[in-house]
Structure 1
């Protein structure tokens, strides 16, 4: 009998433990329930790239900006469906403290909702037809949600309402599809639309491109990098290698000679049709570039842009014209004939003192709580800013701003250079002087940015009904004393400095891409790098150069920064650089004969390895050579990614980096390249290598493979500990059980 009772109790405890473990598994499964599929009219906030937004306090709000696809025409029945989580402070006055939410679509009030109960809920706002037209100058739709809880002023901040707008919220946008607009004046649209749908394009070049074809393709890539601010997904391939998926799923940009593009172009219904001697555009000569765009015959939601000409010079001319948008057309909006390009501006003297009114600017009022205003000026070639430069900022602002928390700051080329303090005096028109450091300026285009941050005097102030503003007056003036550039300034670079020094010239006119012949992977890598460089440029017509690695002219070596891309064995110029490289290569070899690293590891011959190197050019101390190399195509792709991705590039704190497929980086000993004229002339300029005083183990040992999170490795300990604790407790209970006690105790 006692033994049966013992087994019964053990079975009960085992059942409890099983249920506890089972309940933990069920909770985890519920938390990973798959989301409901969206139909073609539903746009979840997650697709807009936003996360959960929290509104709290007395008055708070958030704003969502988005574009719709270029071929969408919105129809009646639109809605905004908000998934809300409402939190009230603990207490009896929850309803009094709730307040309400107010929603606006394109600045039209579409509804309010009272916050009377805590918890999760979905709120649906109908969007009237009159609110479906964007009112912003950039054409984007604007959706605003504001929390209004004025009674919250009577309580402590910790006792106020909070509302979370979940990223699962969505818009329902009924629409019809319209033909895409192929007007060249609207470029980069529709190739780049900036909507919640991914923008993807493929540059297609001839199977055997000339160096002019490649140069034109890299110019087009850089142009779209600038026009889209780097937000277009782009790649490059050849006519024969173009996959059916890319042909139907992506916008196509055909770049090259008419003969090389013929296998694709003859299937297109182009406004300037393809003939034996070129594209038949009215009035075009063999030296004229041709631009034309049509809806893709393979997908009506994509377009085909053709950049071509009857001669090599014409192809390059057409490509460069894309960086001078808007494109000028003739009789038809989808075809343009490029006869001439604007000449490079002459060395026009820049006035030392000039007001904003001299630049044609009128008073600028900034009403957003955080707003910016850009002022552009150009330094002529051969000139540099001298000491004593400044910017006199004439401004005033609303008296309703908090003087201590509001600010007005000034930056030059992305570098903060000064700010002004708000006070009662600055509510009247006043002038503050900001010193301009000469080192913050650069030859060519410069951007002076004025940024405001306006905060009301009280958190209980409804900013929707309070006018917060700053006015920048055209009496503001630049004082820019200049002096001739006597020599290139001495600069220090390493791989983490990329894309410097290439982007120091705003037209990329001192950048030469060095690539092998018959190397599509290297050509694609060059296009990706050109695209990212273009993103860093402004205004000027882009003029990068391309040369094949087996024929790099002397004038190119001496006058250009070189970006060498490909497999080392296909790049003869690496052999010429020889021991100037931290990792030199023998002719035809994809493995360096030596590496300037603290520890040298033996690498298997078939391993995919990326090599990134930077040296001062031995032909000209003012120029730099950067090599993005790979032992195979995957290695080339890895080297390119390391230069493009800012987070990866930040790891490249030297002049040599060797990267394996797991992105483990081994750095070389050299830490910097010094360019520019030295105080004392020298026969040969070599990289300046700064030896680390005491190499740490992290720089000399390979990084171990990523391991799983320690907590996940030990997750099995939790149920084991619970089981052991339960069994121990059971044993103690059984030991103290009545049936074990002697009679009478």
Structure 2
């Protein structure tokens, strides 16, 4: 079975690896990595190459140059255990098996000849025949080495292979191929003796020189964020003199924009109060006017001058107050890149940041300085226009679904061979979709000739559940056949995935005598992009529900976050601000739009119209929480003096270090929600922040209240077991947001209360019987008269 994973950044500059993300086969389009691998050279060949190199005479000048370069080399070890696919091992089974690892090359790395190596450590079955079993390593389709599987009694073996530096590209794929045999004649592909394990301490070793980082907005978001980086991108915000609403909103919008850029890649955010505290591997962000950020006045290498808290142009005239200013430079001490969004007014600062949040507009930027004179506001998308989800209309084709990998429309996909992989289709329903009976898919497919019609078939699965299929019953193949598949209404969810499998077997049988597998590369199956869908659904969602928050609902409806407002205490602490940035980043990751219109307020600056019309998020500890109405709602709540209360009990918690996430229906609008990120102390609020920072915890959210705790003093944020999450459904009642017909409401009421249906039938029968008896009695009395 072919596997593929993506090695991603960590918080360490060198060697240590702490996080990674699975990259599915269809993600190769996005990363432009070829679905191939390199063969590695045996150790003996490397020794010969070294001998030849030693025998080669070099001039003294060349020797001195190489010695100087060697001193500047930095070593980086990329270990295989950074991938969840590897974990404790990567096991290769069968006669032929492949394991694939994808990795990137950071933009500022310079790799020269002989500076990339692969250390492969492995174990294999003692039943393998060394003369017929080997392990081959490939990089981007080019072979870099092979080694026989000849270790006795499953002893650990290892091989160190040189990788030509010219093979390493921005996006790379390392493939390890095991060809295994346990018989001199014919090996059974299903034999449990055919196995080889790649050990997790295998690694890629890079020796590189750091290249100067270009300071140019034409490559933005680089160098602020490097999409090719192997370490966690570390963003540092310089705190202003006073944290006000005019600073909080631009910071939150920029962080949400960076979250969209990061997507699945990890990012670490922190605050500093002094520029000298910034480290070389960090990226500094400065937001605010010169009066809010006094460090700008003392900066020596700024492209523009700052005099008397005003920014001057090249003619030493003050830049207009409605013009945003964007600068990119370096810190004087650590030489770290710095992004500055400033201006001579708070409106100018907001305009400068807004320029960076609009992907289409910021492509115009170049050089170290950008003056944003005019910036047109982007129209707000519809509430149900979610680019990564199903189209809003009920009848559409597969070509109208954009792939989650690269955001491009789905096109015809062809698979080949007896072990063809599945064709994956992201079938993500909108979070407020409720599917009804009668939804269907008309699958349009083709397949080639020379198949065995008795054993070949096409299968359709929804989240791993079989929902339809048909035999491939034509020996001469078929073109553009149709298969209608019903979509079960209870299976379609916001993270659903359709899979189409072509189970193709050749007409030629297996040659047991000569141990020859029948040819299978002529077997092809295609799913066409004009495959159509006819859905039966309605808008209906029950709130509060933190499970829907995992997909962004309702905070990310619409996707530009314009219906969401965040409220912080009047004088927010550093923990409050970091929690705001973590939430903004998460909202950016789970939304997709042409801009960011998220607003941040303090209690004094919160308009009444926003309070009534928007979804609200309150951040802060219990004593300074800006929206105390949340603690007056029913269910589990924090109370004064480190205590908790609910309908069942009231308890004192003098050592309360837990964080709490609670969602309720907004007291000011029954169609909006109020989300509370709170705790009794900063320690608890920090744990709330980590839930939004880390995928393993965030995607566990459910019900309407979560308590976050840890038994560790300083929990490791990359440890999935470091925090414990307890979930509660504490809301006294659920509010249903729906746009349905009266008939649909009655039908759903009957479905949800079907136990009352017999009682209703009896009651209706008694009522009709009474009415009929009354009518008969009156009719009889009238006849007597």
TM-score (normalizing by structure 2): 0.66
Map residues 183-262 of structure 1 onto 2, 5 A cutoff: 183-190=216-223, 191-237=225-271, 240=273, 242=274, 244-262=276-294
Select which of 580, 586, 598 maps to 2:633. 580
Gapped runs of 5+ residues in structure 1? 1-35, 680-745
Give SS of 2:213's match.
coil
CA distance in 2, matches of 1:37, 1:548: 40
Contiguous gaps of at least 5 residues in structure 2: 1-14, 18-72, 386-390, 402-407, 712-722, 740-785
1:639 aligns with 2:688: yes
Contact 2:570 2:602 in 1 (8 A): yes
- Matching of residues 429-444 of structure 1 within 5 Å: 429-433=480-484
Q: Which residue of 1 aligns with 2:577?
A: 523
Mapped partners of 1:674, 1:56: distance in 2: 50
Q: Are 2:613 and 1:559 equivalent residues in the alignment? A: yes
Corresponding residue to 1:124 among 151, 160, 164:
160
The alignment status of 1:154 with 2:186, answered yes or no, reads yes
Q: Deviations over 1:508-534 (max 9, x none)?
A: 222111101222211111111121121
Secondary structure of the 2:610 match is helix
> What SS does the corresponding residue of 2:222 show, helix, strand or coil?
coil
1:438-587 aligned within 5 A: 451=499, 457=505, 466=521, 470-477=525-532, 489-499=540-550, 500-519=553-572, 520-574=574-628, 576=629, 579-580=632-633, 582=635
**What are the superposed Cα offsets for residues 529-581 of structure 1, whole Å, 9 maximum, x if unpaired?**
1211211112342211111034432211211111111022223530x556325
Quickly say closer, same or farther: Cα 1:251–1:579, change in 2 above 3 A.
same
1:396 matched residue in structure 2: 446
Conservation of the 8 A alpha-carbon contact between 2:360 and 2:594: no
Task: Provide the C-alpha distance between the structure 2 equivalents of 1:471 and 1:64, rounded to a whole number of angstroms.
Answer: 27
Q: Provide the C-alpha distance between the structure 2 equivalents of 1:340 and 1:370, rounded to a whole number of angstroms.
A: 46
**How far apart in 2 are the matches of 1:270 and 1:539?**
33
CA offset at residue 437 of structure 1? 8.1
Q: State how far apart, in whole Å, the 2-side matches of 1:272 and 1:233 are.
A: 30
Greater shift in the superposed pair: 563-572 or 395-404: 395-404
Tell me the CA shift for residue 439 of structure 1: 9.6
Q: Which residue of 1 aligns with 2:98?
A: 61
Which shows bigger deviation, 545-554 or 654-663? 654-663
Does the C-alpha gap of structure 1 residues 399 and 535 become closer, same or farther in structure 2, counting only changes over 3 Å?
farther
> Contact 1:653–1:671 (CA<8 Å) still a contact in 2?
no
Cα 1:232–1:678 shift into 2, 3 Å: closer
SS in 2 for 1:533: helix
CA distance in 2, matches of 1:321, 1:465: 53
Contact 2:235-2:285 within 8 A present in 1 as well: yes
Match of 2:117 among 79, 101, 108: 79
Match of 2:211 in 1: 178
| Aligned pair partner of 1:365 in 413, 421, 431 | 413
Query: Does the 8 Å contact 1:62/1:145 carry over to 2?
Result: yes
Q: Could you say if the C-alpha distance between residues 299 and 409 of structure 1 is closer, same or farther in structure 2, counting changes exceeding 3 Å?
A: farther
Alpha-carbon distance in structure 1 between the residues aligned to 2:664 and 2:214: 47
User: Contact 1:610 / 1:630 at 8 angstroms: preserved in 2?
Assistant: yes
Partner Cα distance (2:101, 2:528) in 1: 30
Where 1:332 maps in the other structure, the secondary structure is coil
Counterpart pick for 1:674 among 731, 734, 743: 734
Find the aligned partners of 2:488 and 2:348 in 1 and give their Cα distance. Answer: 42
Secondary structure of 1:158's aligned partner: coil
Q: Is the 8 A contact 1:110 1:125 kept in 2?
A: yes
Cα separation, partners in 2 of 1:454 and 1:88, compared to 1, 3 Å: farther
Distance 1:378 1:449, change over 3 A: closer
In structure 2, C-alpha distance between the alignment counterparts of 1:124 and 1:581, rounded to whole Å: 63
Q: Secondary structure at the match of 1:259?
A: coil
User: Pairwise CA RMSD of aligned residues?
Assistant: 4.6
The Cα of 1:257 is off from its aligned counterpart by 3.1
TM-aligned CA deviation for residue 637 of structure 1: 1.0
Q: For the residues of structure 2 that align with 1:401 and 1:195, how far apart are their CA atoms? A: 45
Instruction: Tell me how far 1:252 sits from its aligned partner.
Output: 1.6
